[in-house]
Amino acid sequence: MSSEFLSIIPVDPRYVPTADVQESAVAAFARMLPMAESIDAVMHREIRFIDAGMEFETVSCPLCGCELDPVWWSDAMDTAQQNAFENLEVTLPCCDSASTLNNLTYRMPSGFARFALQAREPKLGRYLTVDKLQALESILGTPLKQIWSQHRKRGNGEVRTGRRAVGSGR
Ligand SMILES: [Zn+2]
């Protein structure tokens, strides 16, 4: 058994909207997903890595398209995590280009954020349509991206979200 989540996060990992804006965004998000089991604004003190959970597959270079070595990625994540993901800059091993962990090509889509709108069991397929995402962007005043994730249910219905066991890939 697993639970599905749709998280809407700012492209800028540090972005946190004001309480009023969060409230409007949650209300609009709830209207878009009337079948969802729950809709929440989730806020963390520090930047978190938000991944696709069980669906997490590969990480590739956004510039040359090479699939990145999971050990390299895992080490880069460990280093960034020591500073609570405040500095996501990396030099890519494939083509020696400068990029950030947030700009890598994650399959499935993943990202870094302190703030997320989160729908549990959204029951709509996977992602919001572009016009709906744009409506949320204008409420939140910032570009957004969508992270769909699937997490295994624990015994009592608890699920693990928002946190990847960095370093588990080796
Ligand atoms: Zn590259």
Q: Give tens-digit pLDDT for 86-139.
A: 999 999 999 999 999 999 999 999 999 999 999 999 998 789 999 999 999 999
CA of 60 to the centre of ligand 1 (A): 8
In this prediction, residue 165 carries a pLDDT of 44
Q: Which CATH architecture has domain 1-56+112-154?
A: 2-Layer Sandwich (3.30)
The helix or strand, by DSSP H or E, that contains position 117, with its residue range, turns out to be: strand 111-120
Beta bridge partners of 107: 58
Q: Is 87 or 168 the better-scoring residue by pLDDT?
A: 87
CA of 12 to the centre of ligand 1 (A): 22
Euclidean distance between CA atoms 114 and 95, whole angstroms: 30
Instruction: Report the pLDDT averaged over residues 47-66.
Output: 93
- Please report which confidence band the pLDDT of residue 153 belongs to, taking 50, 70 and 90 as the band edges: confident
CA of 27 to the centre of ligand 1 (A): 41
Domain residue spans in the chain? Answer: 1-56+112-154, 58-107
Query: Residue 107: helix, strand or coil by DSSP?
Result: strand
Euclidean distance between CA atoms 59 and 68, whole angstroms: 6
Q: Give tens-digit pLDDT for 42-53.
A: 999 999 999 998
CA of 147 to the centre of ligand 1 (A): 23
Instruction: State pTM to two decimals.
Output: 0.86
- Please report which confidence band the pLDDT of residue 154 belongs to, taking 50, 70 and 90 as the band edges: low
CA of 101 to the centre of ligand 1 (A): 13
CA of 67 to the centre of ligand 1 (A): 8
CA of 26 to the centre of ligand 1 (A): 38
Please state whether the peptide bond connecting residue 54 to the residue before it is cis, i.e. omega within 30 degrees of 0.
no
Cβ-contact 68, 104 below 8 angstroms: yes
